[in-house]
Structures are given as C-alpha cells and as structure tokens.
A and B are shown apart, each in its own frame.
Chain A
Amino acid sequence: MSLRIVVCVKYVPDATGDRHFADDLTVDRDDVDGLLSELDEYAVEQALQIADEADDAEITVLTVGGEDAKDALRKALSMGADKAVHVEDDDLHGSDVMATSLVLAKAVEKTGYDLVICGMASTDGTMGVLPAILAERLGVPQVTLLSEVKVEDGVVTGRRDGDSASEQLQASLPALVSVTDQSGEARYPSFKGIMAAKKKPVESLDLEDLDIDAELVGLAGSWSAVDSATQRPARTAGTIVKDEGEGGKQLAEFLASQKFI
C-alpha cells in the first residue's frame, strides 16, 4: 500500500536580507526576497529518503502563504516531491501559530496522509512549536526534533538529541515527524528536477475549500497580538585593537575592567 507523506514547508524572508515588520506589525514580505525556509529542505530530504526505501510512496508538499509561497513549493518539487498543495487566502494575513496550525491541520487531513514531516523550526518565526501543535490537532503521535529517522512496516523510529540526553523514539503511523539540520544535507535540485517540477500539479485551496471560518484566522482571529516592534539600537561601536603581541593581555585588562576576572 502506498505511503502518503505530506511535508510542511514555509516560505520565509531571506535571513541575509534586511528583514523588518510592516505597519501592521506583521512580517514585511514585500521588501525582502523570500525562499523555502532552509530548515524545511531537511524535511523534504528526509521525505525523499523515506520514499526511496518504501515500496510505493507519494510526497505532497504543503504550504500556507501568499502567492509568492509557490516558489517554496516549486523548490521542493524540483528536489523530487510529487505534488503540491498551496493554501492561499487574503483572510490568512497575519495568522499566528494557532491559526496557521489550524489551517495546516485541515489541509493535511484533506490531502490524506500516513506521515507528516516538518522542519524543526522556520527561519523567520523560529518558534519551533508548530510540529507539536499540529500533532496535537491531528491526534497523532509526535516524533519530533529527529537527527535520524526511519520508517518501516508502519512504524517510525528516530533519534532525538536533547539537552541532557539522546533518545531513541518510536511510534506507529499515522504520525508526525520533525527533523533537525543534523538529519543529513539536503540535495540540490538537478536540472532535470527543475524541468520536471514545472509539470507537477500544484493544487490551490482557500478557506472555503477547507471549511474554515475566516474569523478563526488572520490578524483578528489570532490568539496572540504584537503591540510594538522596535529595531534594536545598533550596538555602540566597540574598541577594536590590533594584536601587536600583547593582545591577550589587553583583552584580560578589558575583562578585568568589566569585573569578569
């Protein structure tokens, strides 16, 4: 039987760009180029490896985001995913993690799945909680923050390297997995992959298709609110000294003056 894998991928502003907030205190997505969150590339990579090991598998990549977010889907398709689902609706603007996860849960259910794979965190919101929330909403086991993952005979096992211990985890499918950037380098799309991606199906869904009340999402439907966002003042220029043989001693003097020694 076919293994249905859904990979959640987020379209984020480039971290090397000048990221900032718009007037309504949501992320300004117009001024900075976006891309597939690099940490989601690891999720796509693991999906491809799991699919390779399975008799028969189908990988759907899923995003919730504006028109541009299609770019993230194309990238994932060019890496080798089979098809894509794009949830786009004007009413989604400004959704917090609770609203976003509600939409993702409905979209995952509509798509049909045995295994959901997420990145460990996005590179913009960087909350790192969406996978756990999605597992809770879907009512399936979470096997999160894995640096190693394997799926065999309807069972997912993986290694989670935590602060104080390394754990070996196991759950039965259907389940939700998130993977870290320790799980293995993501492949680059090949030219063939890029060409093939252009022909792969991208399904667009809106809130009505998912039977979600618009009042439950967007800025107004979110359960958290940002009241202010201020740019951190640039750090005042520090003292910079060229080492002429006494650099270590000078540094010690500085540390002593600051009472660190």
Chain B
Amino acid sequence: MAEVLVYVDHVDGAVRKPTLELLTLARRLGDPVALALGAGAENTAAVLAEHGAVKVLTSDAPEYAEYLVVPKVDALQAAHQAVSPVAVLVPSSAEGKEIAARLAVRIESGIITDAVDLEAGDEGPVATQAAFAASFTTKSRITKGTPVITVKPNSAPVEASPAAGAVEALAVSFSDAASGTKVLSRTPRESTGRPELTEAAIVVSGGRGVNGAENFHLIEALADSLGAAVGASRAAVDAGWYPHSNQVGQTGKSVSPQLYIANGISGAIQHRAGMQTSKTIVAVNKDAEAPIFDLVDYGIVGDLFQVVPQLTDEVNTRKG
C-alpha cells in the first residue's frame, strides 16, 4: 500500500496531540511512516505505532537544536527520498509550516497550509481549508509533485490503530544552508499546567472587558474549573494584561475547541479568524450589540464581573 510521510512534533520524545491526529488522517491516504527528529526521537516510536505508524524514521543530531528550520528540512527531504510517499503531512505550527514549505520548493511540489480536514480523492488528497476568517470553506488539491499538506490541530480525532512501528535510523546529510541561521539561545516558556491553547478541548478567553491584568484571575479560575486553556484578545495582550502566547486570532493562535467562552470580547474580524471554527461558542458581554453575539450558541448580556465568578462557583459545585 502507498505510504504517507508524517512529520512528528514532539518534545523530548513526548508526541504532541496534533501529530496523533495527523496519523488518523494519514491512514485515510495510505500507510503512515513517521519521521521524528532530535533528542528523544526514538522514544516516540511506541505511541506512534499504537496510532498506526508502520515505520518510524528517526534522526538525532545537534544541528536540529542549534540552527533554525533548515536541518529539519534536510531530514524531511531525505525521508521523502527514502519513502517516496503519496503525501507529506506536517502539523500546522509556525515551524511546521516553514519546514513543509521549504520541502515543497525542493521537491517541486505544491503546498496546502492549515487544512482542517483531509480525504482521499481520485486525483490525490483533497484538503478542506477555512478561508477569510472562516467565512468560507474551500476544497483544494495539489496538482504537481507530492502533496505537502499542513494540518491544523483539532482537525481529526485521535484513534488507536496498532501497527508495527519499526524504528529505522534515517541517514541525513546536512546542506550548506543548514547552518545559516544560528539559534544563539533558547528560553523555554514556563508551563502553566493548563492545556496547550491550540490543542485544548475548551478555551476560556478574556478581552478588554476584563479591564486589567489583576482581573485575569477570574478568567483563569473559570478555565481551571473546566480544565480549559486560557486565551486573550489582542486588546488584552497589547495592554500587557496577558502574554502574547495566549492571544487568539489572526496574529495569535488559531483555536478550534469543542467549547469557546469569550468574556469581554467584542468579536472583531481578526479575533473571529482565530476562533470561528470552534464547535460551541459562548459569550459574556455587557453590550447586547457586540458582534460576538452573531456567532454564539449561548450568550449572556451582562457584566462579566458578576457572571464569570457565579459560573465558576456553579461549575465547581456541580463537579462536587
């Protein structure tokens, strides 16, 4: 059967959820072959096999951490050559997109980014994309080369489907370009213990209506009661109330959770671009005319300082 190359996003061997979702999609197209790079690459094999990887190619070298993006492109290109896949799937992270894009140039193939679904078609994989702040849905194909497709988190269920997952070391020779951009230092982001924003099933966000960094604990408390990630509008981020890494929207993270709760957020087009594909949308806003109410499944016109703590208490009580 045809093979599909899947690029693995992992942290020291811990595979991130979007990669497992990719394996579900990959199985619709063929047999997944996974490529894991860097420290801990071999430790990814068990979970990848459990989710359908027939083979796991691994490579570790200091270059992956010391230089930006290109060494990983070299490795993906080597894997492409070794496997001759019918498609290459990469998670739609900032780095994932850049790796996929440079690979596509090298192998003279078209690229589709930010797919939200993927099906096998007569003329190769058909990708669904959300366009213009998710007001349109498009279906696209690659017409030249090996389809290179990046897929957004939460685009497919994670499904177990045990396969061999035989580990094989991949030989990679680095290009001259590999060492072009040095990573002088890397400061890991401190973990909050909350779910990753893009992967979370529930996201609770705060906007300008939260009115100060000191009030964001209300949003965090609600998030914690629901086991949710915390998001913020750009207005809240620009005001310095919450870190940019939590921004939801066009220039922040794009999220697609089961439930999105917007508190004190008006619903500007750039914010909607990052959350409009959420399954269920809830808003708390004191302005009945706020555009966010056009999107909601359930909305409360009210003061978030009243509604949010009451909701948090109620959730905690019900959880008992």
Report if A15 contacts B (CB, 8 A).
Answer: yes
Contact A258 B307 (CB under 8 A): no
- Does A154 make an interface contact (CB < 8 A)? no
Contact indicator per residue, chain A 83-119, by CB within 8 Å of chain B (1) or not (0): 0000000000000111001000000000000000000
> Which A residues lie within 8 Å of B217 (CB)?
none
A61 to chain B, nearest CB (A): 21
Instruction: Give complex CA distance A227, B137 in Å.
Output: 11
In the complex, the answer to whether A168 meets B185 with C-beta atoms within 8 Å is yes
Contact between B293 and A169, CB atoms less than 8 A apart? no
A9-42 toward B: CB 8 Å interface, digit per residue (1/0)? 0000001100111000100000000000001000
- Whether A227 and B126, one on each chain, are in contact in the complex, defined by CB atoms closer than 8 angstroms, is yes
Contact, CB under 8 Å: B189 / A243: no
Chain B residues, CB < 8 A from A126: 114, 250, 273
Chain B residue with Cβ nearest A171: B181
In the bound complex, residues from chain A placing their C-beta under 8 Å from that of B34 are: none
B312: chain A residues at CB < 8 Å are: 248
With the chains together, A230 CA to B143 CA distance in Å?
21
CB–CB B309/A248 < 8 A? yes
Is B173 an interface residue, CB under 8 A from the partner?
no
Alpha-carbon distance A127/B140, docked complex (angstroms): 14
Pick out which of these stretches binds chain B: A43-51, A74-82, A217-225: A217-225
Is there contact, CB below 8 Å, between B293 and A251? no
> For residue B272, which residue of chain A has the nearest CB?
A15
Nearest B residue to A233, CB-CB? B137
Task: Verify B311–A97 contact, CB threshold 8 A.
Answer: no
Q: Contacts A141-B180, A241-B301, A247-B310; is A261 near B101 (CB within 8 Å)? A: no
Contacting residues of chain A (138-168) with chain B, CB-CB under 8 angstroms: 139-145, 147, 157, 160-168
Q: Are B113 and A129 in contact (CB under 8 A)?
A: yes
A107 to B131, CA, bound (A): 28
Interface residue stretch chosen among B37-45, B54-62, B79-87, B104-112: B104-112
The reply to whether B109 and A248 contact each other, CB–CB distance below 8 Å, is: no
Q: 1/0 contact trace for B187-202 toward A, CB 8 Å?
A: 1110000001010001
Among B270, B295, B311, max chain A CB count under 10 A is at B311
A interface SS class = mixed
CB distance from B227 to the nearest CB of A (A): 10
Residues 224-261 of A contacting B (Cβ, < 8 Å) = 224-232, 235, 238-243, 245-252, 254-256, 258, 260-261
Whether B50 is near chain A, meaning CB under 8 Å from some CB there, is no
Contact A128 B113 (CB under 8 A): yes
Establish whether residues B139 and A261, one from each chain, have CB atoms under 8 Å apart when the complex forms.
no
DSSP majority for the B interface?
mixed
Is B158 among interface residues, defined by CB-CB distance under 8 A? no
In the complex, which residues of chain A have a beta carbon less than 8 angstroms from the beta carbon of B310?
Answer: 246-249
Q: Quick one: given A129-B97, A180-B251, are A224 and B141 in contact (CB under 8 Å)?
A: yes
Contact of B100 among A20, A129, A160, A224 (CB under 8 A): A129
Number of A-B contacts (CB under 8 A): 261
A-chain residues with CB within 8 Å of residue B133 when the two chains form the complex: 15
How many chain A residues touch B (CB < 8 A): the figure is 82
Residues of A within 8 A of B245 (CB): 161, 163
Residue of B nearest to A140 (CB): B180
* A59 at the binding interface (Cβ < 8 Å): no
* Contact residues in B for A124 (Cβ distance below 8 Å): 132
Contact B68 A247 (CB under 8 A): no
Partner of B299 from A140, A224, A239 at Cβ < 8 Å = A239
B1 located at the interface, meaning its Cβ lies under 8 Å from any Cβ of chain A in the complex: no
CB neighbours (8 Å) of A168 from chain B are 183-186
Shortest Cβ gap from B141 to chain A (Å): 5
A143-B314 Cα distance, complex, nearest whole Å: 48
The answer on a CB contact under 8 Å between B182 and A128 is: no
Question: In the bound complex, how far is the Cα of B300 from the Cα of A246, in angstroms?
Answer: 10
Residues of A within 8 A of B95 (CB): 162-163
**CA distance in complex: A160, B189 (Å):** 12
Q: Are B181 and A243 in contact (CB under 8 A)?
A: no
Complex partner residue of A260 from B105, B183, B188, B226, CB under 8 angstroms? B226
Q: With contacts A98-B111, A126-B250, A260-B226 known, is A240 near B301, CB below 8 A?
A: yes
In the complex, what distance in Å separates the CA atom of A234 from the CA atom of B311?
Answer: 28
Q: What 1/0 mask marks residues of chain B from 278 to 300 whose CB sits below 8 Å from any chain A CB? A: 00111010001000011111111
Q: Bound state CA distance, A248 and B312, in angstroms?
A: 8
Interface check B168, CB cutoff 8 A: no
A142:B302 contact, CB within 8 angstroms:
no
Chain B residues close to A by CB (< 8 Å): 11, 68-70, 73, 93-95, 97-98, 100-102, 104-106, 108-114, 126, 130-145, 177, 180-189, 196, 198, 202, 226, 244-245, 250-251, 258-259, 269-270, 273, 280-282, 284, 288, 293-303, 306-315, 318-319
The 10 closest A-B pairs by CB, nearest first: A248-B310, A243-B302, A223-B110, A141-B180, A252-B314, A129-B101, A248-B311, A223-B144, A132-B98, A224-B110
Sample of 8 A–B contacts (CB below 8 Å): A21-B136, A124-B132, A133-B104, A163-B196, A166-B187, A241-B300, A245-B306, A248-B308
Interface residues of A (CB under 8 A from B): 15-16, 19-21, 25, 39, 96-98, 101, 120-121, 123-124, 126-130, 132-133, 135-137, 139-145, 147, 157, 160-171, 175, 180-182, 222-232, 235, 238-243, 245-252, 254-256, 258, 260-261
